Structure 1
Amino acid sequence: MLEVGFETLLLLLAAGFVAGFMDAVAGGGGLITVPVLLLAGANPLTALATNKIQGLFGTATAALTYARGGHVNLREQGGAALVAFVAAIAGALLVSVLPTGWIRMILPLLLIGIAVFFATKKGLGDTDRHRRMTPFLFAAIMVPLCGAYDGLLGPGAGSFYMLAFVSMAGYGILKATAHTKLLNFASNAGALLAFAFVATPWWATGLAMGAAQIAGAAVGARMAQKQGARLIKPLLVVTSVSLAMKLLWDMI
């Protein structure tokens, strides 16, 4: 049984579609869905947990769409996805133990830094560049850091995965986006598993929003494959800055 009324559900479905589109292209869908869930009456922990439910469907759809387009081999990412899954569980379980206040304070600066990087860095396109880390080191260092953050706090996790793939793995923008989705799906799943024990997610509402996420993610991933960096870069910059501004506003 749904936890919200029909009119509120329509609003949440619309938010899920737009968030699915954004996540498939550049990440930042939680910037839309979490505030709408709070507006619908969910407490903060329930909103975060429900957001993970619906986000699973969007990231899974985007990952499959990019794989069908030949931009990522999901089987080759299996090991890294498992690392992201475990790291996100650890991050979510440490929410009540670690002092997250300082992370929230520096997070807006990090997101603005990401926006500046993608907006001003010359040569960033869909062509691969110099790799600074081997795949093994990337999976051992960058993936657990991003996955743990996704479980611990969450906002901007897709942007951090993107930055890691572009700056350390040397991937082009489209390839980095494609590879981000499976890892984002895995860390969402890990965080949700942990939240299922420490929170009260709106399961029915989250599943309904997940259906809208599937539609939005399919549209977004197809557009991203057609437009490449021309679409992904500006949207990534806009979502990173918007998320930073929202976090700063929440601190006031």
Structure 2
Amino acid sequence: MQALLLAGARGSSPLVEELGLTNKSLIPIHGKPMIQYVLEELNCVKGIKKITVVGPPEELKKIKTAVPFSIVPEKGEIMENMLEGFRSFSTADAGPTFILTSDIPLITCKSLEDFIERSLETQADFCYPVIEKEVCEKKYSGVVRTYVRLKEGLFTGGNIFLIDSAIVERTAKKAISFLALRKKPHLMAVKLGLPFIVKFIFKKVSLEDAERRASIIFGVKGKAIISPYAEIGFDVDKVSDLHLAEEYLK
């Protein structure tokens, strides 16, 4: 399979602005850009034959690493960049594609391989990791994350996913329109449907319910993968996250 690493600079984050930089993926940690930690762990993953990075070409070319990767110029927001990456693939690249963001410097080869293995076993079109709150807090005590309460417990989402390349183009428009509603909850509720919203309010939505609803909306088989690795759910969004990453990467 191929891996697509998203490192676009558009839609600058508060952290980037606070540090006076232009791209989160290039934030230095002990003299190395954050994305380099992700690249080096990704390069160790069995089955990855090709790594493509979508982002600013001139900056990415300056990364000093032995990891081979190709560069696709960023085009816009995250979904547009993802599509640009897919469109750069040849017909020989058909099959599952592993997608990651570049702000997860604590990720490990072992955690990535575990997620891929669990995902491939499901034979789903799209797999997304979720991590239990207890797992996250046990490893990264005190770190603030956003959790969603489901029937099985409290979960946070990861920053990676596995997708069948064949479904990307036909689901892209739906995904973009759905993401556009993330700040308009009343319209998103219409998309999700009243029965689902009512179950969610009363904390009756299960992982299976969420999988089923997503599969209906996008017309694909989706699967949530419960990961035992907290690092999959840790991304650098705040200065405190950056300090924790620096501590763990000593």
Larger strand fraction of residues: 2
What is the TM-score of this pair, normalised by structure 2? Answer: 0.32
What is the TM-score of this pair, normalised by structure 1? Answer: 0.32
Q: Which one has a bigger Cα radius of gyration?
A: 2
